[in-house]
Amino acid sequence: MATIIDGKAVARALQSEIKDEVEGLKRRWGMSPGLGVVLVGDDPASHLYVKNKEKACKEVGMRSEEHLLPASVSERELLALIQKLNRDRDIHGILVQLPLPAHISPEKVLLAVSPQKDIDGFHPVNQGMLLSGGEGFRPCTPMGIMKLLDSVECDLKGKNATVIGRSNIVGKPVALMLLERHATVTICHSRTANLKEEVGRADIVVAAIGKAALVRGDWIKSGAVVIDVGVNRLPTGKLSGDVEFEAAKERASYISPVPGGVGPMTIAMLLFNTLRAAKESLQREG
Ligand code: NAP
């Protein structure tokens, strides 16, 4: 029977360390890290995500500045706002909530964010840094997954890790981070020929698909560590992960739940990256 990985507790501990550091920055330098949040349109899920992120900022003593734009905003206006935030010395991190309306190119928008303020780690410069093992900002959800694995002292070296999903925000970056830590990584996707087999030989499974309980519990190798990234709303209104939780729990050594696993970590890592951006701006200013 698996031990449940308590993402809320791991996130809380990290946020408490961040809060201490933020207080230290205020005391010593009179500065408080600032996050610029850009939200376009009125998608309820995006509004909820942004609200949660802003609440977390406040809890650790950071400032957040919300820019709400109508869905009809032009790409040019949005790019102009990002340039303004890039120049704003009181804003250390910029978050553009995705998805954007169809008439706006997400590539252009993500490219416009200064890599030094790209606390989501989506800018091509930061993506390239991750690929080459550099020090750039890394995406929050994959960082949170790695922290969860570390929280249970999961030894990755030489282990088989199967990542299901190849998105730019979760699957690909987490696969690179696992590789960096010397796991032998397999990346699966919708065209993978035999998902059950790929999962069955994994010591570590990261499921980032977006399909409720697609990964069956009896596929999991005995003793494997399972990180479930998926967030799926069931017809009952309840949330479900991508892994058949109850059955997988019987076979895994550790498993992260949904909700209460990766989700809280994503927010904690966003705060971590914003704090880092603020500290690096102080260093640049000497
Ligand atoms: P995404 O961009 O839709 O990517 C989903 C991936 O799953 C794709 O690579 C897709 O393969 C693969 N896939 C789809 N059906 C499959 C199947 N039957 N077998 C194997 N692979 C399959 O999603 P995402 O943005 O990475 O997010 C994945 C999930 O994580 C979602 O539920 C999302 O809500 C959740 N999420 C949670 C957090 C958090 O903080 N908790 C953060 C980010 C995402 P193809 O590439 O071949 O299409």
The Cβ of residue 48 has, within 10 Å, a number of other Cβ atoms equal to: 10
Answer yes or no: 120 catalytic: yes
Which tens digits make up the pLDDT trace of 90-132? 999 999 999 999 999 999 999 999 999 999 999 999 999 999 9
Name the burial class of residue 64, with classes exposed (0-12), middle (13-18) and buried (19+) by CB atoms within 10 angstroms of its CB.
buried
Tell how far the Cα of 9 is from the centroid of ligand 1, in angstroms: 25
Is 283 inside any structural domain?
no
What's the pTM? 0.98
Percent of the chain having pLDDT more than 70? 100
Question: Is 191 touching ligand 1 by the criterion CB < 6 Å?
Answer: yes
Q: State the distance from the centre of ligand 1 to the C-alpha of 209, rounded, in angstroms.
A: 3
**Domains identified in the chain, total number:** 2
106 occurs within a structural domain? yes
Domain check: are 159 and 256 in the same one? Answer: yes
162 and 246 belong to one structural domain: yes
Of the residues 97, 169, 189, which should be mutated to test ligand 1's pocket, given the most ligand atoms within 8 Å of the CB? 189
Domain residue limits at 198: 140-262
Chain centre distance of CA 167? 12
Q: Which among 15, 97, 116, 127 is annotated as catalytic?
A: 97
Q: Listing from the earlier edge strand, what are the strands of the sheet with 34-40?
A: 63-69, 34-40, 93-96
227 and 150 co-located in one domain? yes
pLDDT tens by residue, 58-83: 999 999 999 999 999 999 999 999 99
CATH number (domain holding residue 195): 3.40.50.720
Asked, for residue 279, whether it belongs to a domain, the answer is: no
Same domain flag for 151 and 257: yes
224-234 pLDDT, tens digit per residue, is: 999 999 999 99
What pLDDT does 228 receive? 98
Do 232 and 211 form a contact (C-beta atoms < 8 A)?
A: yes
